[in-house]
Amino acid sequence: MENLTLKIGFINVLPYTWLKLNHSSTSGQYSVIGGIETQLWQLASEYYNFSIEWIIEPNSHFGAQYENGSWSGLIAAIMNNEIDLAVGGLMPTTKRLEVVDFLFPYDHDQYTFANQPLPETGSHMDLLIRPFHYKVFICILFTVILFWLFNWIEKKLQQQQYSETNNHHNLLWINFCLLVRQPYHWMSSTGSAIRIALIIWAFSSIILVNFYLYTLCSMLALPLIDKIDTINKFIDACNTGYLIPMAISNTSVEEFFLNSQVDTVRNLWSSHLMLLPNYSLPFTLLLSSSNRPYYALIAARKNLLFLQSVKGKDKIYLPPYTEKSSLFPSLLATPVQKGFHYKRPFERFVSRLITTGIMTHWEMLDSIKLRFYLKRGKGGKFQAFFDNTSMSQQDDEENVDDNNEHRIDDINFIDFTIQHLQNNPNALNTVFFFVSPSNENLIDSYLQNFEP
């Protein structure tokens, strides 16, 4: 492949692609800053010794089929032989596989939703009755009625047998004293039947009081927040107008909603879903501090996790990784032309690279790089990193610094190559050192050394 030049179309979508326009080059070439898929192909070009011509998709369309059968975006560019392959976290779908081929999947994901952290809902007026289920209170009321009947019968019998004495004990008052853990000083003068009933009630009241107090204290210490953590809750919140769902047009999400046979999903698509051309506006709305309305974005979990890792969990809420929080699973692969000549060697390269863990390492480094940009006071332009049209300009502005100011290019990020993995058997250990969640706190301390 020495004289081979591959034309690769791309859309800047973190954490998969991150390129900037190299203004120093007369040919207008793009430089790879980060991204899992872009670094993968840069590494492949070094390994197979071929060159790459990066071609941006100006409309930020991944590829969707129109009603007349034609295609848009990167898929159309591959079909028209304008590019050889495309990158940007594309998902193989049934319609796409009819017109293009896909290489071996390099990642798997699920499509879910992210929304602004919602305020605590509900009233505290019922806090005192919330520790018990309503059935427990019904049982307590039924027990009180039984004791009242037992007390009335016992009183009548006592009046008939000992009409000359007035030594009656009020069972309801004794039970109340035991319930609030107060002594009853005339217990010794009660009858055996009353004592048996009071012993049973004493043990029951200990269990009831302890459970009630522990539950009430836990509710006061950890207030309950009704989170939207499943797809069903998400759809209900959208139908009631509490959340406004957003999605990116010309993506597999649009195809999923169009082909769905579930009535609630189709109703969400036809009545509530807001389709937007790129990630810039959705991220701006998600990160806005305004109260109502609340916005939610439907996208791949890794895209949303990358956003959350950069901006913080207090800014972006993601549901837990469960089957109930997933719209549909997905595989991520690189689309190529039908009959692509180098499909087999590239598939072997991708499959072997997956086993090294280097892609997760790249994703972690991209998170560090983006945090570095934001820590330098450019946080207001955060959405530009996810906007295909302005991302290259944003990167160029970030590198125009004073001589005494740190630049992103000056940071000595560890760069792994094929040679590292072949020659150094301990390289994989270093990769997983960066991957480990326990090293999340190293990121902030690492960035503090490069404050401007």
Each residue of 181-211: pLDDT tens digit?
777 766 666 767 777 777 888 888 888 888 8
Residue 34 has pLDDT above 90, yes or no: no
Distance, C-alpha 155 to centroid of its chain: 65
Q: Sorting pLDDT into bands at 50, 70 and 90, what band is 226?
A: low
Residue in 24, 10, 40, 76 with CA at minimum distance from that of residue 366: 40
Query: In this structure, how many other beta carbons lie within 10 angstroms of the beta carbon of residue 117?
Result: 12
For the record, the structure tokens of 405 come out as 């100011």
For the cut 60, the answer to whether the pLDDT of residue 381 exceeds it is no
Nearest to 306 by CA among 354, 399, 371: 371
Average pLDDT over residues 97-108: 91
**How far apart are the C-alpha atoms of 394 and 17, rounded to whole Å?**
15
Which pLDDT does position 424 carry in this prediction?
Answer: 44
pLDDT in tens, 51-85: 999 999 888 888 888 888 899 889 999 999 999 99
Q: Indicate whether 143 pLDDT > 60.
A: yes
Residue 9 — pLDDT band, cuts 50, 70, 90?
very high
Residue 420's pLDDT is 47
**Helix-then-strand count for the chain, H and E:** 17, 12
pLDDT of residue 38: 92
- What mean pLDDT is predicted for residues 42-51? 91
Cα 176 to Cα 338: distance, rounded to the nearest angstrom: 82
**Interval 403-420 mean pLDDT:** 42
- pLDDT for position 167: 56
Reported as a pLDDT band with limits 50, 70 and 90, residue 368 is confident
Residue 356 DSSP symbol:
T
Specify the DSSP element, H or E, that contains 43. helix 36-48
**pLDDT class for 168, splitting at 50, 70, 90?**
low
In the predicted model, what is the mean pLDDT of residues 15-37? 79
CA 245, CA 276: separation in Å to the nearest integer? 11
Rounded percentage of the chain residues whose pLDDT exceeds 70: 73
φ and ψ of 73, to 5 deg:
70, -145
pLDDT digits (tens, 9 = 90+) for 291-323: 667 888 888 888 888 888 777 788 888 888 888
pLDDT band of residue 148 (cuts 50, 70, 90) is confident
Number of Cβ within 10 Å of residue 450's Cβ equals: 14
Contact 265, 328 (CB under 8 A): no
**328-332/274-276 β-pairing:** unpaired
Percent with pLDDT over 90 in the chain: 14
pLDDT at 103: 93
Confidence band of 403 (pLDDT split at 50, 70, 90) = very low
- Over residues 236-256, mean pLDDT: 83
Return d(Cα 275, Cα 282) in angstroms, integer.
10
CA dist 309 and 297 (Å) reads: 16
CB 433 within 8 A of CB 416: no
Lowest mean pLDDT among 72-86, 129-143, 418-432: 418-432
CA dist 355 and 305 (Å) reads 22
Report pTM: 0.63
Distance in Å from the first CA to the final CA of the chain:
44
Q: Are 117 and 287 in contact (CB under 8 A)?
A: no
Q: What is the DSSP letter of 407?
A: -
User: What are 245's strand-pairing partners?
Assistant: 296
Query: In the predicted model, what is the mean pLDDT of the chain?
Result: 75
Which token pair is 407?
A: 């630049």
Domains of the chain: 5-106+333-448 (3.40.190.10), 134-221 (no CATH), 231-328 (3.40.190.10)
Higher pLDDT, 436 or 418: 418
Q: What is the reported pLDDT for 337?
A: 92
Run of H or E including 294 = strand 294-300
User: Which H or E run contains 445?
Assistant: helix 440-448
Q: Which residues make Cβ contacts (< 8 Å) with residue 376, sequence separation at least 6?
A: 398, 452
Tokens of 120: 């605590």
